[in-house]
Amino acid sequence: MVKRVLLKVRPDLVDSNLKRRVIDAIEKRGLKLCIDRESVGEKDGGYEIVDLGKVDVDCVIIIGGDGTILYTIRNLPVNCPPILGVDAGTTGFLSEITPGEIDQALDKLLKGDYRISNSFRLRTLIDNVILPEAVNEVLVTTEPGKSVKLDVYINNWFLNSVVADGVIVATPTGSTAYGLSAGGSILDTDLDAYTIVPVAPFKASLFPIVLSSDKVVSIKSTGVGRTPIVVIDGQVQYSLNKGEVIRILRSDNYIPFIRFRDNFYAKIREKLLTTNRVIEE
């Protein structure tokens, strides 16, 4: 049962009317409210203030776009509480509700009228260094506007060398993000799989590939051309040295998203195929 709720908001919304409406809706239902330390506004005196890495709550409500949700997840404990995203961004594919649906959503939470969609993460290692886990994708690239040569392996079997702006390895959750923009396929979230997508490849050296999640993808810098970097969920970057190998595999950890709708394809139509969306502030 949901009793304690953590509220996280995008920095520009810490003193917004939207945040106040959400707080009022939470308090109206007698729920215990905690506020993330970075989300504290001028009128938030008296609330319990917590750090993301030390939360002890039943769910996390995040007001913002996909970037805010990804940032929050990365800073929560690995076994994080269920996530409910309130869309205040431009696409909001990770979000479940609009600001106008917050009352209805909280009522359903209290009744247990929801389901948990567990999205697996990607674990990334550079030699023996473990990077933060990815929710959406791992990108191996180089400086903007330049190409890099990379060797791609699947389960230690050499696939091919590719000269491209980069290579993306994306989860089903992330397949609707950068991977889709680069020409990759959308993966149904029920699939136990992920996808490899080259970014602007030179010649037909690599095509998008869908792999079962038990496969391990290894990407090696050939040392030819520019120094590659690894980017996790578009937010965290690591530079690679010559000859270093990046290994990407399925993590044992999941992100529990709160879902009220079951139709994944309706969400694709709503979020990705419909234009002129209006965001309520």
Residues noted as catalytic: 66
- What lies within 8 Å, CB to CB, of 192 at 6+ separation is 212, 213
Q: How far apart are CA 9 and CA 65, in angstroms?
A: 10
DSSP 97: B
Q: What is the phi/psi pair of residue 26, to 5°?
A: -65, -45
CA 233: distance to chain centroid?
Answer: 6
Helices (H) and strands (E) in the chain, counts: 5, 17
CA 86: distance to chain centroid?
Answer: 14
- What lies within 8 Å, CB to CB, of 256 at 6+ separation is 80, 81, 82, 83, 116, 117, 118
Q: What are the tokens at 242?
A: 């010559």
Looking at residue 217, its amino acid is V
